[in-house]
Each structure stands twice: as structure tokens, then as C-alpha cells.
Amino acid sequence: MTSTAPATELAAQVARRRTFAIISHPDAGKTTLTEKLLLYGGAIHLAGAVKSRRAARHATSDWMKLEQERGISVTSSVMQFEYAGFAVNLLDTPGHEDFSEDTFRTLVAADSAVMLLDNRKGVEERTRQLFEVCKRRRTPIFTFVNKCDRVGEDSLKLLSDVEADLGIQCHVVTWPIFRNDAFVGVYDRRLDQIHVFDRDTEHGARRGHETLLTLQSPETRTLLGDESLERLRHDLELLEIAGHPFDRDAVLRGELSPVFFGSALTNFGVEPFLREFLELAPPPVARESTDGPVNPTDERFTGFVFKIQANMDPRHRDRIAFVRVCSGKFTAGMEVGHVRTGKQIRLNAPQQFLARERTAIEEAWPGDVIGILDRGNLRIGDALSDAGALEFPDIPRFAPEHFARVVLIDPIKRKQLDAGLRQLTEEGAAQVFFTSPTEVSGPTPLIGAVGMLQFDVMLHRLEHEYGVRCRLEKVAGRYPRWVTGPKADIERVGRERGRTILYDANGAPLILFEDAWGMRWALERETAITFHEAAP
Ligand code: G4P
């Protein structure tokens, strides 16, 4: 069944959608900025929810708190709000310090990204990793330099470091103004306006009121003094001459990043940023599929699952698949093709997520994310389509870097263990490996993780959601490559030098190498087999 909406309404809904994620290194202020964006989006009651999530995040080493944190972070993992006629979807990414696949998959569902930097630290390791994912996908990136309420790195130096480090060009939209090391405001180069900083003693828990001046106004000279005004003029001239001019196409190709300065904590520079970001950021655009590009204004519904979460709220023991709508209109209860199985499925109980509340929704448009109640049919990467058997291929998978054998503390719980691991695998929270391609009730499997934290999460969830207590025995090898080619060659290479051959949940073989050197050696010499970084 295809639900059709008048083409003009569809086009109008697409044009006003902005779907983005914030990428940053922990502590740059993502939680704070999110909170402030929601405040401006009129969702004031959410601010507290985000804050309690921060409190939970600070307790990441206390695994008894994990459940609580999941409950909060998941229900707020897609935040939708309206601002100035735009329908904004802010996709949140987990706050853990550890490398997480979840974050990368979320970026696939976003149409643009906001790179948040601490003005004293510039580009940090996690920012760089996430930036690379965006760059590979040519996602438009907007930069917000945070914490300007206190003096940071010289702004020009910070920008040139960003350009050199990340290989992206910067175009400054708002520029910070300091007088004697005290933050005075930001100058908006597009609008030729100075936003005067009003140090807000409530730490920005309310919308700041802003005074606007121009470079020429006499108040500006009084505010800045001759010296700071001269420096500002000089900076602006430099930006004009040495900076990159604004070029919308380059922004949309992900080659030029518009840069804003501000302070999320004191709520300063957030509103000009939001306003201009929404104007400049792209609406949903055509997505590549195995059947050619899918245009968001195509009336036939398409979407893909980028995240699955089970048992996420003790009050609702269920499983929810997060679907990014790519084209057409979604209406509650509609039936669509589930491409992997070739069956029609009914999309029931769709939800949008607002803090701890789940709101049932009746309709959704391209760019939106809907939560579908799922009984175990959907998997990450699955396409839902009324436009034929197409797939959206670019959900990234990552090779695990840590392996461990799961050892049951109570051996009669094997069935529950298998059920739990199956669930975690389908959610993309674990990767399970066997030592033989046909191992079903043989020795317990191995699990692979991209970051060490993932192991703790798995053990905790197995115990609390499936009643299975386990311990892990770490396996030495940490350099996996999936392999294709003649079986005899795979066996030969995989049994040399203490290597291990493993099989993933689909039975595809991979070789676990003893060290990076051994892996490179094999990759160069063993031409009879092909090595793959992720499952082929
Ligand atoms: P994260 O989600 O990116 O990890 O960062 P989060 O928002 O939790 O912020 C990390 C720290 O940086 C917090 O301080 C927060 O208050 C502070 N911060 C965020 N934005 C700004 C800003 O614009 N200016 C300044 N000066 N600080 C900012 P904390 O001491 O770790 O936590 P809290 O006690 O303030 O909650």
C-alpha cells in the first residue's frame, strides 16, 4: 500500500526539514549545546531531561547506573523541534568516551553535522574520527567554537589548525570579540551586526536577550574602546583577505565549513548560530541506493533502519527500530515492503522521542526519524520500500578490535545466552563469532567489540535483561580481516603462526592475526585470497 501525499505538500515538508547530529570530543559541551538548542526550539521542559542525562553520563564507571542512563539517552536520542518554520531533527549520539559504532550509524541518518570545538582545545581525537566519517560521506559540516565566555586559543590560530588538521576550508560567520581578555560579544559577518554578550547569572537557563549594534554605531566604540575596536577591524579585514569566501555549493559538498563562535553555557551566540545554521544547512537530498538515487520528493515511501534498541526502558520491555525516512510520506499503520525478506510489513505504533515521553505520531516526512515497535523482524541497515527492492548501502560496519570468549558462570543458561547474544547482535551492540562454521551448541562463542566499554555493556545487559551471568576471557589477537578465496588457502593462512580462523554470525570466515606486522605481511604476500576490513 502506498500512501500518497500531494506532491506540493511533500516538497514543502522536505524543504523545511533539517536533520543533523553534533560531533565532538567529550567535554566540548555537546550536552549543554543540545540543551540550549532545545530551549530555543521551545522545548523548555526538555532541558532538564538532557541535564539529568549528563549526570548519568558522569557515572559511566558505575554499571548499576547503566540502565538508567540508557533509559534517558535512548528516549532523547532523536529530538524534534520547530524553529522559525523549520522542522528540526537533532539526532543525538551516545555520550560515552569510548569509540562507538552507534555514533557512526547515526551520522548516516543525518543530512548535516555540527562540529563542536572547545576554544582551548580545537580539534581533539574523537572529533577527528567522527569528522572523517562525515568527510567520507561528504556531509556538510558546520563548526561551533564553544566556551568563548572564557579566553581560549587565538581564534585565527584555531581556525588555521582546523583547516590544516582536517583538510577542510573554514568560512567565519560569527567572530568573537574580546576586550582585555573579557568576552564582549560576536560580530556576524553576514548580517553586519554585533551581538553584545550579556553575562547571564542564571547560566543560560533562559533565552538570553541580545543587544544588537553595528560596527559604526557610537555605542560600539564605547563598549570596545579604541584598541579593541581597531583589533576587531583588523581581524575582519584579515578574514576578508585571507579567509575563504562563502560558497554554498562548497558547503553542501562538505568542503567548506561555516564557523560560528559562542558559548553554550551562557547561552550566547547560540541563537544566531541556530538561525543561520538552519538557513544554510541542506534539507534532505537524494540518497544513493542500489537502484540509483532516491529523491526525497519521490512519493513512494522509502527508509532504512539505522539503530535498534531493545529493553530500553524498564517500563516498556520492547524493541524499537529507528527508521530514517528517505522519501515519501509516512502514515501510522501503513504497510511497506521489507526488502530483505520480500514481505510486506505494517509499521505500527510509530513514535517520536521527546525526553522521557514517547509521543505517538500519525505522519512523518523525509528527514524524520520514527521509532517502530518491532518483534524481531528488522535489522540494522534494512530498507523499507514502496519503490521496489532497493537497498541503501552505506551503513558503515567496523571490524572489532577486541575479542573475548564468553564463559557462562551457570552452564545450564546456554539458551538464554544465545537469545541474548542474538538480540545484541541484531541491535549492532555486539558481534558474535564462532570457531567453526557449523557450531551451534558447541563451545560458547566469542564476542568482538570496537571499544572495551562495549564488553562491559554486553555483560551488564546479558545479566540484567537475560538473567545470564558470564565472564569474558580475552583473546590475544586483535587484528581481524574477513577473507574470501579458495578454502584451502584460507585454511593455510589462517592456521599459520598462531592465527585463528573465526566465522561470523552469517558463516563468513575471518582470520584473526597475531599482530599488525603479521597481518601486513600476509596482506602483501597472500594474493590468492582477498582481505576485507569489514564483512564483505
Ligand atoms: P559533553 O556533553 O560534550 O561531554 O559536554 P558537557 O555539555 O557536559 O560540558 C562539559 C563541561 O563544559 C561542563 O562543565 C559544562 O558546564 C562546560 N561547558 C559547556 N559549555 C560551556 C561554555 O560555553 N562555557 C564554559 N565556560 N563551559 C562550558 P562541568 O564542570 O564538567 O559540568 P557542570 O558541573 O557544569 O555540569
Count of beta carbons in the 10 Å neighbourhood of residue 438:
8
Q: Which of 41-45, 106-110, 397-401 has the highest mean pLDDT?
A: 106-110
What is the distance in A from the centroid of ligand 1 to the CA of 29? Answer: 5
Read off φ and ψ for residue 313, nearest 5 degrees: -135, 120
Residue 282: all three cell numbers together: 541542506
Ligand 1 atom nearest to 263, measured from its CA:
23
Tell me the per-residue pLDDT of 263-300, one tens digit each, with 9 for 90 and over.
Answer: 999 888 898 899 999 999 999 999 999 999 999 999 99
Read off φ and ψ for residue 14, nearest 5 degrees: -65, -45
Residue 521: all three cell numbers together: 605481511
Which letter does DSSP use for residue 386 in this model?
Answer: S
What is the distance in A from the centroid of ligand 1 to the CA of 59? Answer: 15
Say what the pLDDT of residue 50 is: 47
Protein residue closest via CA to atom 25 of ligand 1: 147
What is the distance in A from the centroid of ligand 1 to the CA of 487? Answer: 54
pLDDT of 30 above 80: yes
The residue to mutate among 25, 32, 72, 98, having the most atoms of ligand 1 within 8 angstroms of its beta carbon, is 32
pLDDT of 407 above 50: yes
Read off φ and ψ for residue 115, nearest 5 degrees: -95, 115
Q: 217: number of CA atoms within 13 Å, CB side?
A: 12
141-150, 151-160, 362-371, 449-458: which range is least confident on average? 449-458
pTM confidence score: 0.81
Which letter does DSSP use for residue 205 in this model?
Answer: S
What is the Cα–Cα distance from 238 to 372, expressed in whole angstroms? 51
Confidence class for position 324, pLDDT limits 50, 70, 90: very high
Ligand 1 atom nearest to 264, measured from its CA:
23
Q: Enumerate domains of the chain plus CATH numbers.
A: 1-7+283-396 (3.40.50.300), 17-77+94-280 (3.40.50.300), 402-532 (3.30.70.3280)
Count of beta carbons in the 10 Å neighbourhood of residue 12:
13
Nearest to 448 by CA among 519, 516, 490, 510: 510
Protein residue closest via CA to atom 21 of ligand 1: 265
Read off φ and ψ for residue 499, nearest 5 degrees: -80, 170
Catalogue the long-range contacts made by 215-218 (C-beta closer than 8 Å, 24 or more residues apart): 215/187
What is the distance in A from the centroid of ligand 1 to the CA of 137? Answer: 29
What is the Cα–Cα distance from 346 to 387, expressed in whole angstroms? 16
Q: Are 88 and 379 in contact (CB under 8 A)?
A: no
What is the distance in A from the centroid of ligand 1 to the CA of 265? Answer: 7
Average pLDDT over residues 4-28: 89
Tell me the per-residue pLDDT of 336-384, one tens digit each, with 9 for 90 and over.
Answer: 999 999 999 988 755 555 434 455 677 899 999 888 888 778 888 899 9
What string of DSSP letters covers 90-108?
EE-----SS--HHHHHHHH
What is the Cα–Cα distance from 246 to 140, expressed in whole angstroms? 13
What is the distance in A from the centroid of ligand 1 to the CA of 266? Answer: 10
Say what the pLDDT of residue 399 is: 73
52-56, 241-245, 312-316, 427-431: which range is least confident on average? 52-56
The residue to which cell 553534533 is assigned: 22
Count of positions (residues) in the chain: 536
Return the higher-pLDDT residue of 146 and 6.
146
What is the distance in A from the centroid of ligand 1 to the CA of 115? Answer: 16
Work out the burial of residue 215: count CB atoms within 10 Å of its CB; fewer than 13 is exposed, 13-18 middle, 19 or more buried. middle
pLDDT of 453 above 50: yes
Confidence class for position 95, pLDDT limits 50, 70, 90: low
Listed in order, strand segments (DSSP E) in 206-356 are: 211-213, 256-261, 302-310, 319-327, 330-331, 335-338, 343-346, 351-354
What is the distance in A from the centroid of ligand 1 to the CA of 97? Answer: 15
Confidence class for position 515, pLDDT limits 50, 70, 90: confident
Protein residue closest via CA to atom 31 of ligand 1: 27
Confidence class for position 74, pLDDT limits 50, 70, 90: very low
Residues with Cβ within 6 A of ligand 1? 24, 26-32, 54, 95, 146-147, 149-150, 263-265
**In the predicted model, what is the mean pLDDT of the chain?**
83
Ligand 1 atom nearest to 150, measured from its CA:
26
Which amino acid, 303? G
Protein residue closest via CA to atom 18 of ligand 1: 29
What is the Cα–Cα distance from 366 to 14, expressed in whole angstroms? 6
